[in-house]
Amino acid sequence: MSIINELSATAKKLSEHGKGILAADESTPTITKRFEANGISSTEETRRDYRDMLISTPGFNQFIAGVILFEETLNQKTADGVAFPAKLEKMGVLPGIKVDKGLIDLSNTDGEKVAQGLDGLADRLQDYKSKGAKFAKWRCVYNISSTTPSTLAIHANAEVLARYAAICQDNGIVPIVEPEVLIDGEHTIEQCEAISEPVFQAVFEALHRYKVKLEYIVLKPSMIISGKKCSKQAGVKEVAEATMRILKRTVPAAVPSINFLSGGQTSEQATAHLNTMNAQGPLPWNLSFSYARALQEYAMATWKGESNNVEAAQNAFYKRAKLNSLAATGQFKDSMEKEDISMVA
């Protein structure tokens, strides 16, 4: 298959209406923190068992088009002795891979960060591709404070996101471009809106400079939302309206799909926000989810590392996947949160 045909087939599959992406690509330190908060010890085996539990959930492929894996998982086998990418492919779910190598300090800023991992990226992508990866993810973060994000951080991060995206496309891998304006802090929704607009704009200017084909990317942005510690929390309608206003201003219609991160919202908020945006349609792009915490929170807390809890944990994951899938078409209703939604229902 030609590179363009590969990119086109992957982008089409990832933007299927009513389906989203499961982010199961937490780095080892991050998943360890989440496991420990739930009393689960973090070993190569428990991480494998947990992620195997998620992707073995019967019927989750009705709601999920792709799963982002961490490198460790890409190289692991499930309990059935099948490699993770092969198991996903068998269910019609595309395997993806987190390829940034985490955040480092950006010199000459007030503690701001830039994501690293460009050196040798093309070679790594060839290796990941040979193991089944069809798409990739790279995350940059922006912290809101009275002095940040600086113009330097906005441009440096836009630059690495665009270079990463161009290298992915060269290798027939669809890049998920993830600029995350962090929810931590006391900022208002208005401040988040004022900062997110130039952040997203700089990302698209850089993608344009690097000649990235927008038809073959997925944008994974944060929503426009009040800071976690802000005393005035914006309502669902306000978040949906502000987010749509800024994305319509900054994201060309050539982008096939926007898949939000959940970023520390509750599971219920992440679903309600997505649904309200889709219910406001029509929109120029598919608008869906690429959540980690908002899909996994209840499943992880239910699993607790015990094989006896697998079915209940899978039901918890299934419910969030189904509700977010409905939210991706604007058909979710608040009353569904109380319904008993399980795998066999």
Residues that bind ligand 13P (CB under 6 A): 23, 139, 178, 261-263, 291-294
- Give CA angle at 158 (157, 163), nearest 5°: 100
Other CB atoms closer than 10 Å to residue 4's CB: what's the count? 13
Nearer to ligand 13P, 172 or 263 (CB): 263
Phi, psi for residue 15 in degrees, rounded to 5: -100, 20
Nearer to ligand 13P, 82 or 236 (CB): 236
**Minimal distance, residue 320 CB to ligand 13P, in Å:** 11
β 20-24/64-69 pair status: parallel
Catalytic residue among 220, 238, 297, 322: 220
**Minimal distance, residue 148 CB to ligand 13P, in Å:** 19
Q: Which residues pair with 77 in a beta bridge?
A: 83
**Minimal distance, residue 180 CB to ligand 13P, in Å:** 7
Closest CA to 258 of 302, 224, 211, 227: 224
Closest CA to 286 of 315, 255, 312, 265: 255
**Minimal distance, residue 195 CB to ligand 13P, in Å:** 18
Other CB atoms closer than 10 Å to residue 146's CB: what's the count? 7
Catalytic residue among 6, 71, 112, 178: 178
**Minimal distance, residue 102 CB to ligand 13P, in Å:** 11
Say if residue 72 is exposed, middle or buried (CB neighbours under 10 Å; 0-12, 13-18, 19+): middle
Residue 220 bears catalytic tag = yes
Nearer to ligand 13P, 6 or 99 (CB): 99
Residue 232 bears catalytic tag = no
Nearer to ligand 13P, 57 or 259 (CB): 259
Nearer to ligand 13P, 171 or 324 (CB): 324
Closest CA to 302 of 28, 29, 44, 57: 57
Question: Which residues participate in catalysis according to the annotation?
Answer: 178, 220
